[in-house]
Structure 1
């Protein structure tokens, strides 16, 4: 497809929405709406067979959600590297810092309508501290769960965040590669 025009429809500090007009290989034309958001980072903070999760209210789905710590730089901010973002999000949401960081990959979050992707990091060698959450995270809860509890939370529908599930799958593949399977 070849883009013919792109019109900015909406912009906020966190995203923008554009409408593109395009032509396909066969010459037919179409219109596509795209949400542009900066990439974000997800942290699988792991120690002693346990994961650090955060729970917060997610307005778009009208309920609270358990997730791995994650977040992004605001649109237009100077930002930093994906690893710097992961470190900042872990400290902000849980108060923890990590001695060891492993990059487990980069995925796309909703490629049917959104340009945003995310980097997955495994953090180990954790040291506790005080979280410094943003105003929108004031009701956030931090909890440490065993991997067995984590899997039960998936099965019971307590964990519904697709990004958290994709990151867990990526972690499983990483573990299998390390074990030579």
Structure 2
């Protein structure tokens, strides 16, 4: 069976952060239809790890109308592409003020492959040094806090952390943790 083929398309909405397209497609059986696609730049998720726990950030998220805890993450302004490691260092410093002597890339994941080609790289930041944050205007209500890994796991289980990128990044960390990082806590906490 062959892939879906794009016949044409048009931009239906565009701003500084995204483009929304409507593509005309042909399915493998020859039938035609449309497919809506959200184009956004790739981003990074950074897991700042020290002392058996992680630094998280919390801010108000307009689309879900509530404050939310997650790992530091972001993309370059103006829908630009950039080096993922440089972006990880930038986002970590911008949101938390932390600087990492060591960044370990864990992998790359699809953000929402049913509607977007956006991907994200996941990094663990270690050997952290505190400094001043440089948050963007939209992040002015952001706060940060260190949590023991057992607390992060509990927050995920109890629905306190619901950001899918953060949860997927943590799962990737759990799958790849070895002697490079402190062994993850695997108890019933």
Q: Does 1:63 align with 2:75?
A: no
Counterparts of 1:130 and 1:177, CA distance in 2:
30
Q: What's the secondary structure of 1:75's corresponding residue?
A: helix
**Counterparts of residues 16-165 of structure 1 (less than 5 Å):** 16-77=19-80, 79-165=81-167
Per-residue deviation at 1:24?
Answer: 1.3
Unpaired stretches in structure 2, ≥5 consecutive residues: 184-189
Contact 2:44-2:122 at 8 Å conserved across structures: yes
For normalisation by structure 1, the TM-score amounts to 0.94
**Residues matched between the structures, number:** 178
Q: What's the secondary structure of 2:167's corresponding residue?
A: helix
4+ residue stretches of structure 1 with deviation over 4 A? 176-179
CA-based RMSD of the aligned residues comes to 1.4
Per-residue deviation at 1:80?
Answer: 2.5
Q: What's the secondary structure of 2:120's corresponding residue?
A: strand
Contact 2:40-2:79 at 8 Å conserved across structures: no
Contact 2:41-2:79 at 8 Å conserved across structures: no
Counterparts of 1:107 and 1:48, CA distance in 2:
27
Unpaired stretches in structure 1, ≥5 consecutive residues: none
Contact 1:50-1:146 at 8 Å conserved across structures: yes
Contact 1:37-1:75 at 8 Å conserved across structures: no
Q: What's the secondary structure of 2:116's corresponding residue?
A: coil
1:5-28 per-residue CA deviation (whole Å, 9 max, x = no partner) reads 010111111100000001112110
For normalisation by structure 2, the TM-score amounts to 0.91
Per-residue deviation at 1:177?
Answer: 8.7
1:80-117 per-residue CA deviation (whole Å, 9 max, x = no partner) reads 20001000000000000000111000000111111111
Q: What's the secondary structure of 2:77's corresponding residue?
A: coil
- Name the CA shift for 1:129/1:36 in 2 (closer, same or farther; >3 Å): same
Q: Does 1:14 align with 2:17?
A: yes
Contact 1:56-1:64 at 8 Å conserved across structures: yes
